[in-house]
Structure 1
Amino acid sequence: MELASARQVEPVNQALGTVIFSGVYHKGACPLPCKLLPKKYFEDGASCAWSRGNQFSVYPSSRVVAERSAASSCEQSVLNIKQNVLIFSPILRKLVNESNGTFLALQKVAEPIHNSDNLVELLKLSRQYRSVIRVCIENLQDAIENEKEGLKRNELTTCLTIFYSIECVWHLCEILFIDSIPGEIVLPHLLEWVRFNFPCHEQVAAQILEACEKGSESHSEYWPTVIGMIVQGRVDVVRALLRLHSKGDLNEFRLVDNTLKTMPVYTIYGGLSTGDFMINWKHWQTECRARLSGTTFSSEPHLELIMRLIVGDYSAFELIRDRYESWFDLLGGWVMFKAPWARRHELAEHAHACAGMKSRMPDHNRLHTIVLALCEGDLHQVIHEIQQVADNGWFATHLTDILYHSGKLNILDRHQTNVANRLRESLILEYGCMLMEHKSLWSVGLSYLGHCPTEGIRRAEILVERLALHSEKRVLRIIAEAKKYGLRDMACVSSRHASAGRAGAALAWAVRARSAALASRAADTLLRRYVATRQLSATDLLLSLGSAMLISDRLLLLGKYCEFHRLYKKKEFKSAGKLLISLITSKIAPDYFWETLLLDTLPLLESDEVILSSVDTFEIMLCVEQCSKHLDSEKADLLRLALTRNLARTSLAIERTEQNQTS
């Protein structure tokens, strides 16, 4: 086994854009008999065939193989190429399984969506999703610490970055669209989001406060931490840090401390209306600007910066923008000092203000676009962007599902009908089908497809039929899972056995599935095999069918014919003959089996004892004449002779009986 060269993989990459694939040569493999992709994508006479799932195979065309074989002996090779599925890695399997449990719980409580108790349950389930993501992040962090190999470590770091972003977006989405915020006042939740997802200075602040030493400004991160705590709205922490400054007793420090102490804090249950609070807030900010306009802080530029930040000075926020990786690090502080009474629908204005701050670092990445779209309430753009996240659809599927059940996606149905439902179902279908490709996650994938009312069941039936049947235990598990969703479980298993040439097993599963078509097909296979080999298979099964053989005429014929053989071997010739005559007169036998049935009467016709009556003999004669085209002429003549002799014997037997009765 050898890796594909860059030249061989390059044309495939051109055909598939930016999708990441991994390819491996399998020597001696055969090309798959599927429809070829256009040859313009390939060089050097290569061909391509789609395989199962997101896989396809690239192989030399027959012309190239013939040319190379003529020149020198060469071994044909196939390059199997498949998408690199991130969530199939062992470390993310727990994420898949645990989120599946939350997904199924969500489907149970989803209706009716406007029930207040259900909305509370939706919030709990959203937090369960976030806790699953958090556990995944912790596992990735542990794996990175234990991983020494550079390439593997880089892959884990990339995964960690992806799920950090997922947690950040989910948390903000939960605040803005799932949680029920009293009065729609978003600031407390926004500050919580910033502190949780961007704790860049929290650890340093804790270390300084724990040391509790005067002159803490000697710490290299003292002032950046003070400013960071201001931006995150941690006013009490800022006051505590300022008191640890060696000049903390000076007038300038006391003035800043008193200003922060007297800052009005708006709460929905505080007893003040929004209007009254705005008056108090503006009065407090007027006092702050008055103190700032003088020369009080001219000797302390850091204190002056703090005062400029708390009065909502845009240039002050721009001044510290480059200290942070993103504009939304500043969003909580900007809303807190600019409009602490802001409601959810007003957040977009403040988000645009922060996003417009000058910075040396570019803000145009996907996470920034998603957060801005969330602040604007543009869920269509949010879903479009999260579909591009390289986590193979886990995030888009589950977030869209919970937003749909919370009723927040109804906005998508303004101009077209049922858009939200179709969007949700398409994402679940894609995610479920991807899981069905995995050897052990197929049951999880089936649970997702089972909750897609339009296409899910039909798609699941097709994919279940393709599952590998390694053992009886696996077959029974497939059946148990399929029964939950009303799939044609045993029917598909029977088809698989029939296609593999295991007619007996196919018949068993067809009977369990109560499928007349599959039972007829399997019984027909066994009958043809008997005609060719004179050996009857699956006799134990056939003799124990009972009333189950009535589901199909062909199965009834096979079961009764097996019973005939059993009676004949036990030398119960009368019963065997009666059963054979019933099979002949019922006319349920296919054309190819008439000869077998008629020839089976020969031993009974030639028996020393009269077994078949004259009525039975006449029935056989009628069938011989009707089916003469299916009989060899010599065999037909032999049958006619045996029938004539048996008819004569029955006549003699009748005469003797009558003589005995008269005497």
Structure 2
Amino acid sequence: MNTSNQGSSFSRGNNTQADSNTKTFVLPDKCFEQRAACVFRSGNKFSIYPRSQTVSKAPVSIDNKILDVRQDILLFIPILRKLVNESNGTYISLQKAAEAAKTTDNQVEFLKLSRQYRSIIRVCIESLQESAAMEQDGVKKCNLLSYITIFYSVECIWHLCEILYIDNIPGDVVLPFLLEWVRFHFPCHEQTAAQMLEACERGSEDHPEYWDTVIGMIVQGRVDVARALMKLHSSVDSNEFKLVDNSLRSMPVYSVYGGISTGEFTISWKHWQAECRSKITSRVLTSQPKLELIMKLIIGDYAAFESIRGSYSSWFDLLGGWVMFTAPWTRRHELGAPAAACAGMATPTHAPRTHLDQMVRALLDGDLHQVIHEIQQISDNGWFATHLTDILFHCGKLKILDKHQNNVTARLRDSLILEYGCLLMEHKSLWSAGLSYLGSCPPEGLRRAELALERMPIETEAKAMRVIAEAKKYGLNGVVRTVCACASSRLLRAGRIGGALTWGTRGKHGAACGRAAHAALRQYAARGELPAQDALLTATPAMLPHHPLLLAVKYSDFHRLYKSREFKKAGKLLVSLITSKLAPDYFWETLLLDTLPLLESDELIFSSEDTIEIMLCLELKSSNLSAEKADLLRLAAVRNLARASLADEDNSNSE
């Protein structure tokens, strides 16, 4: 199975690595030797199961075994969840800043957010380093070290991309920022230099790394540190050292705020280099080969740089120094040639180019299409590609990809975000973060979010409430209805009618409310107890048109009025329920029998018209009552009709 540089887990069996990009899974058990079938499941999972080759009535002697194969998700390990959650907050802030940038220039805010991303990555690396230092298990320690390598490369590339495409560099002169990048990510000999300067002992050249450290400071552009180290040499007072120190001290430094133009600085620079070159050709430094090497380095001699290439792990270490001593006025878009020069320097070990080499080279060449392609190959499950592409898109730096196709950058950005958001939706605690990514790419993202939320397992009411809150935030009313209906059905099966009714009304789901209302009415008809009265009293008016719920609510009101001895209002409400014919067959007996105590009451409750309506419904629904109860109701109705008729006659006479 091709895993595209991602790990995979297998529930049973062994696996062997076929090559760097392919994993071969050896299926265990002989039952799979005959025939196997595969079915894809949600997320990056699929299941393999045995299937019989022949169809027969006789039982097949195959064990019922299902093997699950799933992709290992790097971001799902506990130590990296903080990275996901914190970067999600920065991502949301970036979307708000991008919206504000439509009316005002928000480049400073983009730079601030980019640095937030890098800070989050640095914290993640530090956490991984602490865990790796404490880990005793060899395999786990190796995994943590590989994670450190991944996110170190991520932070390194992000920083360089920030310099080249996000930061607003004055005059577009990139050298100071490039030197800062080299010093920060490739701090060669920095600790040794600090130790020697702290000791401040004459004769420090006896230290085995003295000259390597001095040259390292020169290459990193830290000329002042190199001069300070040279003063610790026992021969610092010799003419050779004074000559080199004077050359380093008088080296012109370009600054856009220096008050001189690029042309004037170029003349001064070339004059200084000519002086340095004359000192080399005069052979006054022949007796001090290290000092001669330093002089060759500061005039940008390619052979000199190539001679020290083997002392460094990568060509990145030399890049800042090469630019500084060959063309310190280099603009951002002119870094391709220096990068090619440094990358082409021969090394004694002939080490193969790493993936980081390819990304840095593509970035310095300005090939953003290749950069995005390369960062997608990093096995961080798309975190880097998603967030870097998003910020570059909002900064307007990806428009170069639209030369031959329309809107390709927006589609590229959306596809990465959608894929990353769907990945997070698979996790039981990161799904809300994934929802924010999908919600930022309408309408496709919202459609995916709706499908994912509807299929999400909801074990508790607390999670259901959280899902509903998130769905409402993005206007996913269909999800709200579905979740509420499922929660209502689950509670109804558990006999919790009040809870079922509450969830039905919360989601404004008529069918769920109807089922819960029917259950409440059936329970009252069977036991004489009306459940969920609080829920019925707080039912929203918008749900009342659903007949079962309307009947349950009005019947609950009838009970409330009856208990408060407001018999006339209760009787009027009961008659309206009877004449509305909302009641299902199983509840007609209850409604009709509830009229009996009111018919027999000393106080006249029902008018003659109401009594006639009751008698009419009694005859129509008499099949729902026993003969004895029906006769009893007829007798009470006749008596009440007689009393009501006399009362009506007395009223007419008095008028």
Shorter-chain TM-score range: 0.7 to 0.9
Give the structure 1 partner of residue 393 of structure 2.
404
Summarize the alignment of residues 232-631 of structure 1 with structure 2, pairs less than 5 Å apart: 232-359=220-347, 360-488=349-477, 490-502=480-492, 504-516=498-510, 518-520=512-514, 522-523=516-517, 537-545=531-539, 547=541, 549-550=543-544, 552-564=546-558, 578-586=572-580, 588=582, 593-594=584-585, 596-597=587-588, 600-601=591-592, 604=595, 615=609
Quick one: distance in 2 between partners of 1:112 and 1:343?
30
Moved more, 334-343 or 494-503: 494-503
Quick one: distance in 2 between partners of 1:412 and 1:518?
51
1:308 is displaced (CA, Å) by 2.3
Provide, for residues 37-81 of structure 1, a one-character-per-residue CA deviation record: whole Å limited to 9, x for no partner. Answer: xxx9x8543444444433343344478999997659x5x444333
Give the structure 2 partner of residue 23 of structure 1.
10
**Secondary structure of 1:407 counterpart:** coil
1:169 is displaced (CA, Å) by 0.6
Q: What letter corresponds to residue 555 of structure 1 in structure 2?
A: L
Distance 1:242 1:550, change over 3 A: same
1:467 is displaced (CA, Å) by 4.7
Distance 1:585 1:416, change over 3 A: farther
Quick one: distance in 2 between partners of 1:636 and 1:260?
115
1:274 is displaced (CA, Å) by 0.8
Q: What letter corresponds to residue 163 of structure 1 in structure 2?
A: F
Distance 1:115 1:540, change over 3 A: closer
Provide, for residues 620-642 of structure 1, a one-character-per-residue CA deviation record: whole Å limited to 9, x for no partner. Answer: 787799xx8xx897979999988
Quick one: distance in 1 between partners of 2:54 and 2:560?
60
Moved more, 471-480 or 341-350: 471-480
CA contact (8 A) 1:605 1:612 kept: no
CA contact (8 A) 2:5 2:377 kept: no
**Secondary structure of 1:110 counterpart:** helix
Q: What letter corresponds to residue 19 of structure 1 in structure 2?
A: Q
Quick one: distance in 2 between partners of 1:253 and 1:264?
19
Distance 1:130 1:68, change over 3 A: farther
1:191 is displaced (CA, Å) by 0.6
CA contact (8 A) 2:244 2:291 kept: yes
Quick one: distance in 1 between partners of 2:540 and 2:101?
51
Q: What letter corresponds to residue 596 of structure 1 in structure 2?
A: F
What is the TM-score normalised by the length of structure 1? 0.82
- What percent of counterpart residues are identical? 57
Moved more, 435-444 or 531-540: 531-540
Quick one: distance in 1 between partners of 2:440 and 2:266?
49
Moved more, 172-181 or 86-95: 86-95
Q: Please state if 1:203 is matched with 2:164.
A: no
Moved more, 572-581 or 301-310: 572-581
**Secondary structure of 1:500 counterpart:** helix
**Secondary structure of 1:377 counterpart:** coil
Quick one: distance in 2 between partners of 1:513 and 1:405?
37
Q: Which residue of the other structure, out of 73, 92, 98, is the alignment partner of 1:110? A: 98
Quick one: distance in 2 between partners of 1:340 and 1:518?
73
CA contact (8 A) 2:585 2:624 kept: no
**Secondary structure of 1:453 counterpart:** coil
Give the structure 2 partner of residue 58 of structure 1.
48
Q: Which residue of the other structure, out of 151, 166, 169, is the alignment partner of 2:154? A: 166
Distance 1:352 1:531, change over 3 A: farther
CA contact (8 A) 1:527 1:558 kept: yes
Give the structure 2 partner of residue 31 of structure 1.
none
1:181 is displaced (CA, Å) by 0.6
Quick one: distance in 2 between partners of 1:659 and 1:105?
79
Provide, for residues 100-139 of structure 1, a one-character-per-residue CA deviation record: whole Å limited to 9, x for no partner. Answer: 3322332332244377762222212222221221122222
Q: What letter corresponds to residue 505 of structure 1 in structure 2?
A: G
Give the structure 2 partner of residue 124 of structure 1.
112
Distance 1:659 1:405, change over 3 A: closer
Quick one: distance in 2 between partners of 1:208 and 1:654?
115
Give the structure 2 partner of residue 154 of structure 1.
142
Quick one: distance in 2 between partners of 1:521 and 1:344?
68
What is the TM-score normalised by the length of structure 2? 0.83
1:270 is displaced (CA, Å) by 1.3
Give the structure 1 partner of residue 16 of structure 2.
none
1:396 is displaced (CA, Å) by 1.8
Quick one: distance in 2 between partners of 1:229 and 1:77?
64
Moved more, 85-94 or 560-569: 560-569
Moved more, 477-486 or 346-355: 477-486
1:548 is displaced (CA, Å) by 5.7
Quick one: distance in 1 between partners of 2:102 and 2:326?
34
Quick one: distance in 1 between partners of 2:616 and 2:102?
75
Moved more, 127-136 or 612-621: 612-621
Provide, for residues 232-287 of structure 1, a one-character-per-residue CA deviation record: whole Å limited to 9, x for no partner. Answer: 11222222223333333333333222222222111111122111111121222222
Quick one: distance in 2 between partners of 1:658 and 1:515?
46
Q: What letter corresponds to residue 144 of structure 2 in structure 1?
A: L
Quick one: distance in 1 between partners of 2:622 and 2:207?
108
Provide, for residues 574-618 of structure 1, a one-character-per-residue CA deviation record: whole Å limited to 9, x for no partner. Answer: 7666434423443555xxx24533674267479767987665576
**Secondary structure of 1:97 counterpart:** helix
Distance 1:58 1:612, change over 3 A: farther
1:172 is displaced (CA, Å) by 0.5
Quick one: distance in 2 between partners of 1:288 and 1:159?
46
Q: How many residues align?
A: 628
Q: What letter corresponds to residue 510 of structure 1 in structure 2?
A: G
Moved more, 108-117 or 451-460: 108-117
Distance 1:563 1:338, change over 3 A: same
Quick one: distance in 1 between partners of 2:403 and 2:82?
38
Moved more, 397-406 or 610-619: 610-619
Give the structure 2 partner of residue 35 of structure 1.
none
Unaligned runs of at least 5 residues, structure 1? 1-13, 27-39
CA contact (8 A) 1:113 1:406 kept: no
Quick one: distance in 1 between partners of 2:257 and 2:104?
21
Quick one: distance in 2 between partners of 1:415 and 1:354?
32
Quick one: distance in 2 between partners of 1:526 and 1:48?
46
Quick one: distance in 2 between partners of 1:659 and 1:622?
22
1:328 is displaced (CA, Å) by 1.9
Q: Which residue of the other structure, out of 132, 152, 156, is the alignment partner of 1:144? A: 132
CA contact (8 A) 1:327 1:363 kept: no
Quick one: distance in 2 between partners of 1:421 and 1:240?
52
**Secondary structure of 1:399 counterpart:** helix
